[in-house]
Amino acid sequence: MCGIIGVLGTHEVAPVLVDALKRLEYRGYDSAGIATVHNGKLDRRRALGKLINLSDLLVHEPLIGKSGIGHTRWATHGEPTVKNAHPHISGRVSVVHNGIIENFQELLKELKACGYAPTTQTDTETVSMLVDHYLSQGETPLQSVRNCLTKLNGAFGLCFLFEGEEDLIIATRKGSPLAIGYGDGEIYVGSDAIALAPMTDRISYLEEGDIAVLSRSQVSIEDKDSSPANREIRTIRSGSNRFEKDGYTHFMEKEIYEQPSVIAQNLKHYISDTGQITLNGINLDFSSIERITLVACGTAFYACLTAKYWFEKLARIPVDVDVASEFRYRTPPVAANTLAIFVSQSGETADTLAALRYCKDKAAHIWSVTNVTESSIARESDVDLPIYAGIEIGVASTKAFTCQLTVLLTLALKAASDQNQINDHKRHEILSSMQSLPSLINLALNCSENLRFVANELAHATDILFLGRGLLFPLALEGALKLKEISYIHAEAYAAGELKHGPIALIDETVPVVVMAPQDSLFDKTLSNVQEVMARKGRILMIADAKALKDAGQGFWKAIEMPHCHEIISPIIYAIPAQMLAYYTALAKGTDVDQPRNLAKSVTVE
Ligand code: M6R
C-alpha cells in the first residue's frame, strides 16, 4: 500500500526522498510525489506511474528545500492521476496519507460550507483542508492536527508539512504503521524501517493514536490521550545489501533461491540440534487446547489451510480456518479459551489485524506467526512466533510462505506431542524429514530449467487449472494465486476430487492442468482424476517424484520430476515448482514481476 517518507535534513532533500520512495516501491503504487518547504513556501512535484517519471520531472523542474515529505500512492479513492497523487496541498498544509478516511464525504460537505473547494477525488484532501481550516482559525500546527484527528474515521498514517515551518513535520498513525528514524542532526519518518535503512538504523515505532512532532533537534510524541509518550529507540539490523537483488533479475527470484538458507535459519530457532522442539524458546502448551482458529489473507491463508491438515492429522485437534475479511464481519462466536492464531508476513494486514482485535475482545488466546516482530499483529498478540524469512520485497510472497509452513508444522508437531497423539518414533521421523528441508529444497530448485521451458508454453494459455489432493490442495490454491498475481493469466485451483462436480466442463485441449501429486497416500486417487482429465483431451503438467511419475505411466503433456520427500513436508517442497512456474511464466510474458499491476505488498486498508 501507499508509502510515506518525511525528512528534516541538513542537505537538499528531494534526492533523499526519491531514494527512500524507491525502497518503498515494493509495497505497490501507481503514482508518486514529493513536497518541500523552502523559504517558507510549500511546493511539490508529482508524476503518474513509475518513480523514474518523478525523477525525470525533477531533472526539468527541480524542487529545492531541506525539509520534505514524499509518497507512493496505491489508489483507493480516485483513479491514478497526477491530480490525485500525493502530497496534497491545501492552503498552508501539505499531507501524505496511507489508509482510508471513511467519513470523507461527510467532512467534504462541512469543508465546502466553510468555502473549501476540493481539487481531487481523494479522501486525503479533506485532511489537508481540515488542518488548514484550523490553522486559519489561529490554532498552532499541533493543535490543528489534534482537532483534525477528532473528526477522522478510518485508518491512517499521516505526515504533515507546513508553510513557514522548515523545522517541523507532524506525523500520526491510527491503523497504518509509521517509524521515526533518528539521524545525525536529521530526523526521518517512514512507513517502515526499510525506507529509512540507509539513513539510520535507530528507529522507534509510533503506537496507535500517537502524534509525533518532529524537529531536527527533538522528537516529542504524545499518545492518544495527549499524554507525553516514550517510544523506545531500537537499533535495527539495517545491512543495506538486504535490499539489493544480489545478481538476481528480480527480488522474487532472489527470494525463491533464499529458501534453503532461511528455512535452515528458521529450523535453528524452532528445533534443537538434538531434534527437540524448542519453539524459539517460547513455552507453549497445547495439552488443554480443544479447538484452534487460524485466520489470515492471501498466501498466508493458504499456509493456514495447510496447517489445518497438519493439526488435524497429527494432533487430532479440530481447526477452523478463515479469510480475515470474512471472519471479522461474520461476527463468529469465539469461546473465551479459544486459541486463535493469526498468520501474516507483514504483520500489518488490516483485515487480519481487525480479526485479531475481534478475538482479543472475546478473551481468546492470541498467537501470531509473522515476519516482522515490530509489526502491529506481532505486538498485539500474546505470543508472536517469528518466521525468520528476512525481509521479503517481491509482492508475490515466496520465502515467507515456506517459512510460515515450517513454523506451523512445528507447532502441529508440538501439539501432537502435548496431546499424546504421536509416538517418539513418528515424531523423530517427521523432525528428521524437516531437518532435510534445506537440502530437498535445493534439489527442487534444480528443476528450474525444465520449469522455465514449460513456462514458455504456459505463457500462451489464457486459463490454467491447478489440482491437488490432501496437503497438496492448499498448495494448488497457492500455485494458482502466484500465477495470477504476476503473469495475469487466469488460474483456478480445485481439490482434485472436486473436478468432476463441475469444473471438468472447462477441460479441453487449450487448458493446461497443473497437477501436484507426490507418491503419497492419496496418489492413486489423484491419478484417477488425472485420467479423467486426459480422457477429455486435457493437457496435464504432472509435477511428481520419480516413483509417482513411473507409476502414473504415459500420456502427460509435460512432467517435472521432484525429489522424493516425506508426505508431511510435501507442501513445502512442492511450493518451489509452484513459485518457479509463476515466475518463469511472468518472465516469458514480460510482466512486472516484483511490482505486479494493481497489487500492494502490505494491504493496510480493508
Ligand atoms: O502480509 P500478509 O501475509 O498478511 O499478506 C497477506 C496477503 O496480502 C499476501 O499473502 C498476498 O496474497 C501476497 N501478494 C501473495 O503473494
> What pLDDT is attached to residue 164?
97
Beta bridge partners of 42: 37
Q: Which residues are catalytic?
A: 2, 601
Neighbours of 263 (CB within 10 A): 24
Please answer whether residues 165 and 37 qualify as being in contact, where contact means their C-beta atoms are separated by less than 8 angstroms.
yes
C-beta 403 within 6 A of ligand 1:
no
Q: Is the pLDDT of residue 97 over 70?
A: yes
Distance 216 CA to ligand 1 centre (A): 36
pLDDT digit string, tens, across residues 246-290: 889 999 999 999 999 999 999 999 999 888 999 988 999 999 999
CB 99 within 8 A of CB 604: yes
CA 69 – CA 158 distance, rounded (Å): 10
Q: Look up cell 513445502; give the residue.
A: 572
Strand 292-296 relative to strand 319-323: parallel, antiparallel, unpaired?
parallel
Cell 533523499 locates to: 16
pLDDT per position as a tens digit, 288-337: 999 999 999 999 999 999 999 999 999 999 999 999 999 989 989 998 88
Closest ligand 1 atom to Cα of 377 = 4
**CB of 298 closer than 6 angstroms to any ligand 1 atom:** yes
- The whole-model pTM stands at 0.84
| Ligand 1 atom, smallest distance to 297 CA | 6
What is the CA 163 to chain-centroid distance, rounded?
A: 35
The reported pLDDT for the residue numbered 197 is 85
Give the tens place of pLDDT for each residue, 243-254. Answer: 788 889 999 999
Does any ligand 1 atom lie closer than 6 A to the CB of residue 377? no
Q: Which of 182-186, 499-503, 535-539 has the highest mean pLDDT?
A: 182-186
Q: Does residue 595 have its Cβ closer than 6 Å to ligand 1?
A: no
Residue 396 CA: nearest ligand 1 atom is 16
Give the C-alpha separation, 96 to 85, whole Å.
9
Nearest CA to ligand 1 atom 4: 344
Rounded to the nearest angstrom, the distance between the alpha carbon of 242 and the centre of ligand 1 is 20
576 close to 256: Cβ distance less than 8 angstroms: yes
- Averaged confidence pLDDT in the chain: 94
Query: 145 C-alpha vs ligand 1 centroid, how far in Å?
Result: 32
Q: Find, among 4, 25, 294, the residue nearest to 177 by Cα.
A: 4
3-state secondary structure of 185: coil
CB 458 within 8 A of CB 489: yes
Nearest to 468 by CA among 352, 402, 548: 548
Check whether 595 has a pLDDT greater than 90: no
* 296 CA: nearest ligand 1 atom: 4
Rounded distance from Cα 381 to ligand 1 centre (Å): 19
Maximum separation of any 2 CA atoms in the chain, in Å: 82
